[in-house]
A and B are shown apart, each in its own frame.
Chain A
Amino acid sequence: DAGITQSPRHKVTETGTPVTLRCHQTENHRYMYWYRQDPGHGLRLIHYSYGVKDTDKGEVSDGYSVSRSKTEDFLLTLESATSSQTSVYFCAISATGSSYEQYFGPGTRLTVT
């Protein structure tokens, strides 16, 4: 299995609080992605990174920000969590970009009450 970990694995938080999810990889892959998975929607891309300090938006980026200060870490921040952000969040990595297989982390289940 690709060396990807996510933390925390489960989190319950209240509406309006800030939340940061962490993705850590040991593969030295250049590309990292954050997805959310909701019933009926499959996986949707939130943000991605193509290098240290290089990030861009995905299709559902509103309400989320990211940072990548080191190759191995990609952080996803919900500045002020809302109930609509209750979801399972997956991090993925890729050595050469999205046309090649992406390897997914174990996921973080976030509940916003």
Chain B
Amino acid sequence: EDKVVQSPLSLVVHEGDTVTLNCSYEVTNFRSLLWYKQEKKAPTFLFMLTSSGIEKKSGRLSSILDKKELFSILNITATQTGDSAVYLCAVSIQGAQKLVFGQGTRLTINP
């Protein structure tokens, strides 16, 4: 069974801290890994990763994929209260029209 596991499930930090969110997966026929941010509404797309070792970066957010060890991390530096959200990791399966999502990490940034 395809499985995506995120850790931690919940994280509370102070504004300005750096955080690392983890996503590990066990799937047949991996195609890509995606990160989404979900505030009190629909998930919004952050990154798609397909190759190992190539960092994707957008402002203070960055992500990298390790296809050998089957995990990805999402880093957020100099966190702000607006970064508070649930961060979802999903894996796309080759030959199958679906994304398998992890449970999400709820990140809370305190001022």
The answer to whether A binds B is yes
Q: Choose the segment among B52-60, B74-82, B97-105 that binds chain A (4+ C-beta atoms closer than 8 Å).
A: B97-105
Partner of B97, one of A43, A97, A106: A97
**Is B48 engaged at the interface, CB distance under 8 Å to the other chain?**
yes
Interface size on B, residues (CB 8 A): 24
* A104 touching B98, Cβ below 8 Å: no
Return B25 CB to nearest CB of chain A, in Å.
Answer: 12
Interface string of A58-100 (1 = CB under 8 A from B): 1100000000000000000000000000000010000001111
* A105 touching B42, Cβ below 8 Å: yes
* B interface: dominant SS: strand
Chain A interface residue number, banded: 20 to 34
* A43 touching B98, Cβ below 8 Å: no
Binding site for B on A (CB under 8 A): 31, 33, 40-45, 48, 50, 56, 58-59, 90, 97-107
Task: Knowing A42-B88, A43-B88, say if A102 contacts B101 (CB, 8 Å).
Answer: no
Return A107 CB to nearest CB of chain B, in Å.
Answer: 6
* B97 touching A31, Cβ below 8 Å: yes
Q: Which residues of B contact A99 (CB under 8 A)?
A: 31-32, 48, 92, 94
